[in-house]
Structure 1
Amino acid sequence: MENTVPEDARASVDTSLVDGTDAVLMEHVSGTVCATEKSFEGPFALHLTDEHGRISRHHLYESSLSIADACAP
């Protein structure tokens, strides 16, 4: 977050699915990289597992290409 323009950062949850101790959030993220002033946007998914009230697993799936492109000079 420290490398993105704070007022351009956006994230929204589109869908959430829960099955027992597993949850999947399908989201959309966008922002601007400070160093290049280039923007990025795209979908991402977050898979969480809850064990005894604590997150025991956290997997993030994102559009790394759009973020890499925004970071490139």
Structure 2
Amino acid sequence: MTKSAAVRRHLPTSPFKARVQAPLKRFAVGDRVTHDRYGLGRVIGVEGDIAVLVDFGSRQERLTQPYAEMFKL
């Protein structure tokens, strides 16, 4: 028998700080982006909240969530 961890909700009156989740990065076709490894590029395809296809000039890369190394310009 295994126990599953229950998700605890944060009470607004709690003296402890709530865990803050970073907002999801969203990209649209045509957005200019920069990537720490690949450099400057343009988004040429979006697969919902799963992945984006980016053209970096010399190559095209499919990048998946989380987009930690990619930023919108």
Q: TM-score, normalised by structure 1?
A: 0.33
Q: Which has the higher helix share?
A: 1
Q: Which has the higher strand share?
A: 1
Q: TM-score, normalised by structure 2?
A: 0.33
